Chain A
């Protein structure tokens, strides 16, 4: 049975099997290592090299040294392509590669020792430290779902992507977002990670809090609006200038049923979709509970709103609901939880005298306690792709490519915090917006389309994903 056993780097290869490199696996020269923990594996290969002069011997060993250097450079982030240790069984159509973390080699014996007829063959011991898992040469992150509107949820365990198993997080290499909005430029993106392990049934998580579901004060009024999420919004009308006034309160019980309360706990970055009719407004969220005095609420940052088209506004970070979830219900099950009275107040202030109003559409809680990514200046035109990747040195960078993936359009601003494919069964929750105006018909797609050279590691022993 013939096998493939080689090192590859980009288009170069160093075969240990077919003799083309001058190196040949000795009989029983390699007993493959296995792992179930995902930890790196140290493989020891016994190779033989047969040459009749020192120069030729040096040339073979220089090739080995070259691949060793490339592996070291890849790990330090200088080299963009990894060195892969490729294996393929005779009856397999595709090979499997593991990233070489480091490689060393040494003489196994001297060619001045032994029988004269074999004096030109010397053993070389090669030690390869590789990643714990194997992967196919080509992977793609599935044809991700195309989501329209202002929020997106991506379940990387569905849509054709293979589930990530194991206890170690997989790393995103070349994670892609594509703009599917014809004729518009998408510029901002917020992605939060949320896992089933830590937050329960993700289908119960409410990505939007429609503010018309809350309770208005005298300063707020519900209106139908086809440009608003869910077709409705709340209009805030101040009584005068330069005075803070509450427009509405929305409680957790307004948004989800009691059985879903637990699935909506955590730390969130609260994004508000809003616009004004003119002038300048200031808006501020206050987090608290029914019965709490207004001034005892947790105050969010004051944000200025001057856009007359819908826009997404960062209204700060807060934890829902109690920091110690066990505190309010030590005995009573969550079904009768007081969590439902957790609420958010929306306060507004008109700056300077003018008869203007502010429209409030919805709040979008972005989960941030497991990791998140915030993108600005993505500058994605229709079918252009935003790509973020992490190198071995842990540096993350993003670019926006044109639709043909021949030019770099821009370098977006990114703030990744523990951003990687979530552990286990997890979702990515996202909010996206244009630079100047945010429209309910915008759409994006996670993962792009077709085959990509993206790959993500699966911490599974010898098996790859294809």
Chain B
């Protein structure tokens, strides 16, 4: 049973004017051992153009839920829509690069505080530098030198040095230069200036140089109230605060709301292609900007708590020490979750981690014994019952050999394969199992319970 519901922040009410169960064609969805409810898709054809457009503009971000026998067996949000009408394709997407309502720009400060003013001259023998139009008073310093001078020569070479004391009072247009910040060794670094002519120079604040600076988070509160917070951090080098803020604000203006874009033109028939993503993907909508060390289970809980839509459910204790490094390069929470999960535990066990019903994230050690087996292309539990295809979740072991007489090993784990993804296709009733470290998949046909007479 498929239903369309309000967006996550607008409650859970079903949208009764849309009979999704009837109009959704080709419903298929996948669930992963790491991720949980992962992706889904269906098409809508054979309805009026007016309705199709209405769905295209209004469905983005809404919840799609599959229920079987009263329980949620898949849930996600409409993540992307592609509308093909009269040969033209438009898309709307919630992928972070196309939709973000909280933007920051991290830029690298060039730390340039001044530049050349008048006639320049190297005083090579004295290890000094002169600019007849400059007053070096603000830039002169003592150990440690707060500023350095970077000179571009006419022959396209660069000569640098730390600025020491002024040697030409009261003109203050000449300074002594040093090779070290401690100002104990007079001289130049970079290219030897003997015989060279200075073309221009910059005076650079040493401590501010190459620092990553945040322009500050800019947000669209109205968009966040409707869709939730989707963060996006842009990096820009060599900018100043004005440029960084302008870039940030432009991004916000353009991407704060999911927006339709024309992308293609062809002869395809009118159709609406709907792509859904599990709530797991909303963990990629926020960043961590700090680093944290803890046990794997503690970090999973901490990361989940910083998402907007997810809550921590069954979290198995895992005492493996892990560090999530997100300073000074911010990391998406979803990426950090994947990294923690991928480390397993100190004993080398696999872990499953996914978002399932009620938007709860479960983190549990993967089973080490097979609970299912294949029988003539049908996946069965140990009791010999065919599994209900909508209800099977990945992250289990399927026995591939119940005990070959040629294999003396009694250990069933050596004859079991880990299933990391299951895909269900409603129209055909097929179940597709994706096996770890295996490029192939097994297609399994299942029958639903009601109607199996």
Residues of B within 8 A of A397 (CB): 16, 19
Q: Does A323 contact B (CB under 8 A)?
A: yes
| Interchain CB contact under 8 A, A318 and B385 | yes
| Interchain CB contact under 8 A, A317 and B449 | yes
| Interchain CB contact under 8 A, A299 and B22 | no
Instruction: Pick the contact of A369: B3, B314, B384, B450 (CB < 8 A).
Output: B450
Residues of B within 8 A of A371 (CB): 450
From known contacts A267-B449, A295-B369, A417-B450, infer whether A323 and B385 are also in contact, taking CB-CB under 8 Å: yes
From known contacts A369-B452, A418-B451, infer whether A323 and B384 are also in contact, taking CB-CB under 8 Å: yes
Residues of B within 8 A of A322 (CB): 384
Please provide the chain B residues from 408 to 453 with a CB less than 8 Å away from any CB of chain A in the complex.
449-453
| Interchain CB contact under 8 A, B449 and A190 | no
0/1 string, A277-297, CB within 8 A of B gives 1: 000001000011000000111
From known contacts A317-B69, A395-B22, A413-B3, infer whether A287 and B14 are also in contact, taking CB-CB under 8 Å: no
Total A-B pairs, Cβ < 8 A: 73
Q: How far is the CA of A267 from the CA of B383 in the complex (A)?
A: 14
From known contacts A190-B70, A314-B71, A317-B388, infer whether A417 and B14 are also in contact, taking CB-CB under 8 Å: no
Q: How far is the CA of A169 from the CA of B451 in the complex (A)?
A: 13
Q: How far is the CA of A396 from the CA of B69 in the complex (A)?
A: 16
Q: How far is the CA of A282 from the CA of B316 in the complex (A)?
A: 14
Q: How far is the CA of A287 from the CA of B16 in the complex (A)?
A: 37
| Interchain CB contact under 8 A, B382 and A368 | no
For B, the interface residue count at a CB cutoff of 8 angstroms equals: 29
| Interchain CB contact under 8 A, B16 and A369 | no
| Interchain CB contact under 8 A, A415 and B1 | yes
Instruction: Pick the contact of A299: B3, B371, B450 (CB < 8 A).
Output: B371
Q: Does A213 contact B (CB under 8 A)?
A: no
Interface of A, secondary structure class, is: strand
Q: Does A16 contact B (CB under 8 A)?
A: no
A46 to chain B, nearest CB (A): 39
Q: Does A302 contact B (CB under 8 A)?
A: yes
Q: Does B137 contact A (CB under 8 A)?
A: no
Please provide the chain B residues from 63 to 77 with a CB less than 8 Å away from any CB of chain A in the complex.
67-71
Q: Does B391 contact A (CB under 8 A)?
A: yes
The residue on A at minimum CB distance from B22 is A395
Residues of A within 8 A of B385 (CB): 298, 318-319, 323
| Interchain CB contact under 8 A, B450 and A418 | yes
Please provide the chain A residues from 8 to 24 with a CB less than 8 Å away from any CB of chain B in the complex.
none
| Interchain CB contact under 8 A, B71 and A302 | no
0/1 string, A364-406, CB within 8 A of B gives 1: 0000111110101000000000000000000101000000000
From known contacts A413-B3, A417-B450, A417-B451, infer whether A269 and B70 are also in contact, taking CB-CB under 8 Å: yes
Residues of B within 8 A of A231 (CB): none
From known contacts A288-B383, A317-B391, A411-B16, infer whether A301 and B22 are also in contact, taking CB-CB under 8 Å: no
Interface of B, secondary structure class, is: loop
| Interchain CB contact under 8 A, B69 and A269 | yes
Residues of B within 8 A of A317 (CB): 69, 388, 391, 449
Residues of A within 8 A of B116 (CB): none
| Interchain CB contact under 8 A, A415 and B19 | no
The residue on A at minimum CB distance from B450 is A417
Please provide the chain A residues from 410 to 424 with a CB less than 8 Å away from any CB of chain B in the complex.
411, 413, 415, 417-418
Q: Does B381 contact A (CB under 8 A)?
A: yes
| Interchain CB contact under 8 A, A411 and B14 | yes
Residues of B within 8 A of A417 (CB): 1, 69, 450-451
Please provide the chain B residues from 1 to 56 with a CB less than 8 Å away from any CB of chain A in the complex.
1, 3, 14, 16, 19, 22
The residue on A at minimum CB distance from B362 is A302
Instruction: Pick the contact of B449: A282, A288, A369, A374 (CB < 8 A).
Output: A369
Residues of A within 8 A of B450 (CB): 267, 368-372, 417-418
A356 to chain B, nearest CB (A): 18
Q: How far is the CA of A267 from the CA of B369 in the complex (A)?
A: 26
Instruction: Pick the contact of B70: A296, A376, A411 (CB < 8 A).
Output: A376
Which of B14, B371, B449 counts the most chain A CB atoms within 10 A?
A: B449
| Interchain CB contact under 8 A, B314 and A301 | no
Q: How far is the CA of A297 from the CA of B369 in the complex (A)?
A: 13
| Interchain CB contact under 8 A, B371 and A368 | no
Q: How far is the CA of A295 from the CA of B371 in the complex (A)?
A: 9
Residues of B within 8 A of A413 (CB): 3, 14
| Interchain CB contact under 8 A, B383 and A314 | no
The residue on A at minimum CB distance from B69 is A269
From known contacts A368-B69, A370-B453, A372-B69, infer whether A298 and B3 are also in contact, taking CB-CB under 8 Å: no
Residues of B within 8 A of A242 (CB): 317
Which of A288, A298, A376 counts the most chain B CB atoms within 10 A?
A: A298
| Interchain CB contact under 8 A, A415 and B67 | yes
For A, the interface residue count at a CB cutoff of 8 angstroms equals: 37
| Interchain CB contact under 8 A, B314 and A282 | yes
B358 to chain A, nearest CB (A): 9
| Interchain CB contact under 8 A, B381 and A314 | no
Which of A198, A395, A413, A417 counts the most chain B CB atoms within 10 A?
A: A413
Residues of A within 8 A of B71 (CB): 301, 314, 316
Instruction: Pick the contact of B19: A314, A369, A395 (CB < 8 A).
Output: A395
| Interchain CB contact under 8 A, A314 and B14 | no
Q: How far is the CA of A307 from the CA of B314 in the complex (A)?
A: 18
Q: How far is the CA of A127 from the CA of B325 in the complex (A)?
A: 78
From known contacts A301-B71, A319-B385, infer whether A368 and B449 are also in contact, taking CB-CB under 8 Å: yes
Please provide the chain A residues from 98 to 113 with a CB less than 8 Å away from any CB of chain B in the complex.
none
Residues of B within 8 A of A319 (CB): 385
| Interchain CB contact under 8 A, A314 and B69 | yes
The residue on A at minimum CB distance from B15 is A411
| Interchain CB contact under 8 A, A302 and B19 | no
Residues of A within 8 A of B383 (CB): 287-288, 297-298, 323
Q: How far is the CA of A302 from the CA of B3 in the complex (A)?
A: 24
0/1 string, B321-337, CB within 8 A of A gives 1: 00000000000000000
Residues of B within 8 A of A323 (CB): 383-386
Residues of B within 8 A of A304 (CB): 313
The residue on B at minimum CB distance from A375 is B70
Q: How far is the CA of A242 from the CA of B316 in the complex (A)?
A: 9
Q: How far is the CA of A319 from the CA of B447 in the complex (A)?
A: 14
Q: How far is the CA of A322 from the CA of B313 in the complex (A)?
A: 34
Q: How far is the CA of A369 from the CA of B69 in the complex (A)?
A: 11
Q: How far is the CA of A8 from the CA of B36 in the complex (A)?
A: 55
Please provide the chain A residues from 300 to 344 with a CB less than 8 Å away from any CB of chain B in the complex.
301-302, 304, 314, 316-319, 322-323
| Interchain CB contact under 8 A, A314 and B449 | no
Q: How far is the CA of A417 from the CA of B381 in the complex (A)?
A: 24
Residues of B within 8 A of A372 (CB): 69, 450
Please provide the chain B residues from 385 to 405 with a CB less than 8 Å away from any CB of chain A in the complex.
385-386, 388, 391
B363 to chain A, nearest CB (A): 14
Residues of A within 8 A of B317 (CB): 242
Instruction: Pick the contact of A296: B1, B67, B69, B382 (CB < 8 A).
Output: B382
| Interchain CB contact under 8 A, B70 and A374 | yes
A-B contact pairs, 15 of them (CB 8 A): A302-B314, A314-B69, A319-B385, A322-B384, A323-B383, A368-B69, A368-B450, A369-B453, A372-B450, A374-B67, A397-B19, A413-B14, A415-B68, A415-B69, A418-B450
* A-B contacts besides A296-B382, A417-B69, 13 pairs, CB < 8 Å: A190-B70, A198-B453, A269-B70, A298-B381, A322-B384, A323-B386, A368-B449, A374-B67, A395-B19, A415-B70, A417-B1, A417-B450, A418-B451
Top 7 nearest A-B pairs (CB, nearest first) are A374-B70, A415-B1, A417-B450, A298-B383, A411-B16, A267-B449, A418-B450
